[in-house]
Amino acid sequence: MLRLDYQYNMQLSFAKPVNRHHFTLRCFPADNERQKITYQDINITPSYVGGEETDSFGNHCIYGLIEGEHTDFNVNVSGKAYVYGDVFLPVEPSHRIGMFRYHTGLTDMGPSLYEIYEKLPYKDDIRNDVQKVALQWMNIIYDSIKYVQGITQINTSAEEAAALSMGVCQDYAHIFLALLRHEHIPCRYVVGMMMGEGASHAWIEVSDGEKWIALDPTNNCPVDDRYINISHGRDAKDCTINQGFFYGLPEQLQEIHVVVEESSND
């Protein structure tokens, strides 16, 4: 178990003012079996009218409307969490698992994915021991893809990334999901934060029918108590951190800065 302090900052700047800006934010860690949020402070500017909700995957969202003209949109979330590295999330409710067995547009199979698929070992065993086999598969994915920033985008599909043999955490996760789903194994995309300083992170969870086994293909390791969950869904699209809709079409720049460190004091 680790006690972590986290800060999540998102800064969106527009080159020219926008107005009637609608947003939905999905960047708030919440309590679950593997993490307990003991304190959380959320600061969104400029001021807005809106509400809160839980989406169909169980993710906490804040949504709203900023009516007037503005050039900046800032979200700061800071908090403290206890994270239990050896606990897996339960599959609950169990009848919701089916949807995670099927490809979405971002995880559809294609020739480059089939090439990786051919290299995967223990396919016959995956139903008996998901955890063991998925770890083996993760090795292969890790070796097939080179971590390179700036080549892929948020809507790059697993197949496109596999064809490039390059990508970032989102692409590693989508490729992993595509291959598991090809074997009909339920698995989901997870957005969260990892100990250290940088951007937000993404990994996957694969189910053995009872629990969600969390694996980080970008770092080729199981997810442990250094990781804080933010949201999950079938792919990155279900977990969009900031969905926006506004009037005006200026250039925009989004910067995300995340810091997670072990708590030093009480």
Among 31, 33, 41, 53, binds other proteins (CB under 8 A): 53
Min. distance of Cβ 23 from other proteins in angstroms? 8
Of 98-106, 165-173, 198-206, 220-228, the window that binds other proteins (rule: CB under 8 A) is: 98-106
**How many Å separate Cα 97 from the centre of its chain?**
18
CB of 24 to other proteins, least distance (A): 5
3-state helix, strand, coil in the chain (%, to 5): 25, 45, 30
- Residue 265: CB atoms within 10 Å: 4
Identified binder of other proteins from the candidate list 39, 86, 98, 266, rule CB under 8 A: 98
Cβ atoms of 52 and 193 within 8 Å: the answer is no
**Is 210 strand, coil or helix?**
coil
Q: In 3D, which of 188, 210, 219, 239 has the Cα closest to residue 29?
A: 239
Specify the residue, 36 or 60, whose C-beta has the smaller distance to other proteins: 60
Shortest reach from residue 102's CB to other proteins, in Å: 4
Assigned token pair, 54: 């839980």
Determine, following the binding rule CB under 8 A, whether residue 22 of this chain makes contact with other proteins. Answer: yes
Residue 245 in contact with other proteins, rule: CB under 8 A: yes
Q: How many residues bind other proteins, per CB under 8 A?
A: 23
| Residue pair 54/61 in contact by the 8 Å Cβ criterion | yes
Q: Which of 30, 36, 42, 63 binds other proteins (CB under 8 A)?
A: 63
Q: How far apart are CA 226 and CA 1, in angstroms?
A: 9
Residues found near other proteins in the complex (CB under 8 A): 22-24, 49-51, 53, 55-57, 63, 65, 95-96, 98-99, 101-102, 233-234, 238, 243, 245
